[in-house]
Amino acid sequence: MSHSYQAVGWNRQKKIYDLVILIGVFLYIGIFMGIGSTLFPNATAETLMIRAFGTGAFVLLHIILLIGPLSRRFPSLFPLLYNRRHLGVTMFLMALVHGAFSIIQFHAFGDLNPIISVFVSNGEYNSLTQFPFQALGFLALMILFVMAATSHDFWLANLTAPVWKALHMLVYVAYALICIHVVLGVFQSGVSSVYHAMLGVGFAMIVGSHIIAGLQEKEKDKELNSDKNEEGYIKVCKVSEIPEKCAHIATLTGERVAVFNFDGKIAALSNVCQHQNGPLGEGKIVDGYVTCPWHGFQYRPEDGASPEPFTEKVPTFKVKVIDDVVWVHPTPNPPGTHQEPVVVEKK
Amino acid sequence: MKWVSVLLLILISSFSFLMISNEKEFDNSTFEFGEYCTYEGIIMENPYPRILIERPGDTGSLPKYSQYYLTQFGKFGGGEMVKGLDGKKVSLEGALIYRDDQTMIEIKNNSVNHDHTSENERVFNFDSALPKKSLGIHTLKGEIVDSKCFYGVMNPGNLKVHKACAINCIRGGMPPVFVVKDQQGNIGYYLLQDEEGGAVNKNILDKIAEPLEIKGEVVKQGNILILKANPTSYRNI
């Protein structure tokens, strides 16, 4: 997990995942340039390359942004989520090729520094149709660079999770900048209406899937305060409503709690993984450990601690089961505190 | 896992084909990059550097001289390379750039040679070799491009995506050309000059790659059409 800071902790799944990414990138670029040079013999190789890498990176960015909300709806997509950062770094490298070739082509070999030229050659910042769209693309590329450079767990640990998370939420700013870069750039140069339609569909999918996921999260966050017993425990759900080795997520006094049912026992942990704030309650118990669906970080259900040598810990909660109903005390125990799971009859 | 991977790769391939097949047609223009030939002719320095190359034999209705705009590597006109050689005979090496009947040469570094013999020192009379003929006042609608990119170095070399590059090139001394398309897609090329026949580069940088209307005198000089107008009168449409 986060101790040795290997460049990539390779396993068979990651190797297959990265191989598919690599072959996919080569196929996309190869077909775009190969078919392009056949269909359009007058097109220059630089132009085809700029467009191949630009469109490829933009399509990949859409996929990356869709994986999160879609995997909440369709858990079978979790394997895509596990190594999303590999997709992100690949997308940045494709965007970098697009940006570098564009800057060399349109801004180098003149009387200005190419980077300065990006911002000042076309100074019509007060015009919508003539706006210097390259500046927006450059800013987006800088954001993607910072994200790719800090994608490793080393930075997550050193920047702290909240800072790291906030930094990586900038991907939405980058996406907005790129959309405007496309609309005020190539769309102003008479491209096929198919591209307009594709961007419209892509944008609608990103916005729509995030709104739906947000509404679902809001539903989960409905406070359970109505049924509170004299000891302060709050009624959560029936044992039978929690699938074996899975969890029921409830929001108690502002904090999401994951109540797990495993091997005839019930245990409650904070829903927030210490790695990237992933939703532990959407994961499963694997080999006796609560396993985060995002990147596989594991915690013992009894005390919320990661197995040695790892040191991550999440808070546990007191649980009672009365007449097949699970009650959880909303006050969290300090992270790593042993809380004996409640034994129930195994179904 | 295997079939999911294969399906993903088929989807990626199909999507790539969908993207490229919806590109619009690219115009026919050529840059013979790195293919240097030797050219001999007379330098015309102003307002934009050109080399006049005598056509061999009886030229019939064609002008006696063909004209090639001159540029150097990058986003610069060829002015520095032929400075002080106005009306002089030179030889130079360069790579050809052309589109329709418009031609340009990118001069190879240090390849311009001027033989200081008495015959070559004689200053050329442009007015008699390439007489100018006024075609009257016209109002034209089109777009300002930098001739180097539009004639072949870049494709496409016009419109919004190319705007910043065109500004860099024209600021660097590239001859600015007003391209006017008719309904059939045929292109008219008009070299832009001010009312006195001077270069306009520095005065049109905020008008490049935008739809414009220009009213001015059209003058024919050899195979080149010139549009003479005050840049402040250029009108956005």
pLDDT tens across A39-85, in order?
999 999 999 999 999 999 999 999 999 998 998 788 778 777 777 88
B188 token code pair:
């008219």
The answer to whether A195 contacts chain B (CB < 8 Å) is yes
**Residue to test with chain B: of A189, A191, A193, A201, most B Cβ within 10 A:** A189
Please answer whether residues A296 and A308 qualify as being in contact, where contact means their C-beta atoms are separated by less than 8 angstroms.
no
Q: Residue A234 above 50 pLDDT?
A: yes
Could you say which residues from 15 to 54 on chain A have a Cβ atom under 8 Å away from some Cβ of chain B? 16, 20, 23-24, 27-29, 31-32, 35-36, 39-40, 42-44, 46-47, 51-52
Q: Do B9 and A20 touch (CB under 8 A)?
A: yes
Residues sharing a CB contact under 8 Å with residue B222, sequence separation 6 or more, in sequence order: B52, B63, B65, B66, B67, B130
Give residue-wise pLDDT tens across range A83-110.
Answer: 788 999 999 999 999 999 999 999 999 9
Under-70 pLDDT residues of chain B: 1, 118-122
Q: How much of chain A exceeds pLDDT 70, in percent? A: 94
Which pLDDT band, with edges at 50, 70 and 90, does A311 fall under?
Answer: confident
Low-confidence winner among A13-17, A22-26, A41-45, A262-266 (lowest mean pLDDT): A13-17
Q: Residue A224 above 80 pLDDT?
A: no
Residue of B nearest to A128 (CA): B160
Closest by CA position to A115, among listed A135, A92, A85: A135
Q: What is the pLDDT of residue A42?
A: 93
> Cis ω on the peptide bond leading into residue B63 (within 30° of 0)?
no
- Nearest CB to A32: which of B20, B73, B169? B20
Helix (H, G, I), strand (E, B) or coil at A7: coil
- Domain boundaries defined on chain A: 12-220, 234-343
Helix (H, G, I), strand (E, B) or coil at A133: helix
Please answer whether residues A90 and A60 qualify as being in contact, where contact means their C-beta atoms are separated by less than 8 angstroms.
yes
Considering only the top CATH level, what class is A234-343?
mainly beta
* Rounded-to-integer distance, Cα A189 and Cα A182, Å: 10
Q: Tell me which chain A residues have a C-beta less than 8 angstroms from the C-beta of B15.
A: 28, 59
Q: Residue A343 above 80 pLDDT?
A: yes
Which pLDDT band, with edges at 50, 70 and 90, does A294 fall under?
Answer: confident
Q: How much of chain A exceeds pLDDT 90, in percent? A: 67
End-to-end alpha carbon distance in chain A: 34
Q: What is the pLDDT of residue A1?
A: 45
Better-predicted residue by pLDDT, B118 or A129: A129
Q: Tell me which chain B residues have a C-beta less than 8 angstroms from the C-beta of A105.
A: 154, 165
Render A167-207 in DSSP notation, one character per residue: HHTTHHHHHHHHHHHHHHTGGGG---HHHHHHHHHHHHHHH
Please answer whether residues A148 and A89 qualify as being in contact, where contact means their C-beta atoms are separated by less than 8 angstroms.
yes
Mean predicted confidence (pLDDT) in A109-123:
97
- Domain boundaries defined on chain B: 30-129, 132-236
- Nearest CB to B154: which of A44, A123, A190? A44
Low-confidence winner among A217-221, A326-330, B231-235 (lowest mean pLDDT): A217-221
The answer to whether B237 contacts chain A (CB < 8 Å) is no
Which pLDDT band, with edges at 50, 70 and 90, does A8 fall under?
Answer: low
The ipTM assigned to this model is 0.93
* Rounded-to-integer distance, Cα A57 and Cα A177, Å: 14
Mean predicted confidence (pLDDT) in A4-19:
73
* Rounded-to-integer distance, Cα A153 and Cα A166, Å: 15
Low-confidence winner among A126-135, A150-159, A168-177 (lowest mean pLDDT): A150-159
Q: What is the pLDDT of residue A7?
A: 59
Q: Tell me which chain B residues have a C-beta less than 8 angstroms from the C-beta of A111.
A: 75-76, 168, 171-172
Cα A62 to chain centroid, rounded: 12
- Nearest CB to B20: which of A36, A44, A118? A36
CATH no., domain B30-129: 2.40.50
Please answer whether residues B81 and B71 qualify as being in contact, where contact means their C-beta atoms are separated by less than 8 angstroms.
no
Q: Residue A165 above 90 pLDDT?
A: no
The answer to whether A188 contacts chain B (CB < 8 Å) is yes
Q: Do A130 and B160 touch (CB under 8 A)?
A: yes
Q: What is the pLDDT of residue A2?
A: 44
Write the single-letter amino acid at B96: L
The answer to whether B135 contacts chain A (CB < 8 Å) is no
Considering only the top CATH level, what class is B132-236?
mainly beta
Which pLDDT band, with edges at 50, 70 and 90, does A153 fall under?
Answer: confident
Q: Do B168 and A42 touch (CB under 8 A)?
A: no
CB atoms within 10 A of CB B163: 26
B215 token code pair:
């009213």
